[in-house]
Amino acid sequence: MTGVQQRVIRVRVWDKPCDVTVTQKSKSVWVARGEYLGKDYETQDSTPGAAAKRWREKAEYHNN
């Protein structure tokens, strides 16, 4: 894989906007990293959007 692809995706966690950095780890693995209420979360999935969605779900679950 040449070069690292990275982008920032804005998601809403309980109506609060959060910026999540999504980085391509391999051809089919994207890692989403970000902070919500002082806690760092990281998830991965097969597309940037899916990784960001999984990150949002994790942040909501842990701050329920």
The answer to whether residue 56 is domain-embedded is: yes
Enter the pTM of the model: 0.90
SS (H, E, C) 13-64: ECCEEEEEEEEEEECCEEEEEEEECCEEEEEEECCHHHHHHHHHHHHHHHCC
The answer to whether residue 1 is domain-embedded is: no
The answer to whether residue 47 is domain-embedded is: yes
Q: Give the pLDDT confidence score for residue 64 in this predicted structure.
A: 81
The answer to whether residue 13 is domain-embedded is: yes
pLDDT profile of the chain (64 residues), mean per 10:
85 96 96 97 98 98 90
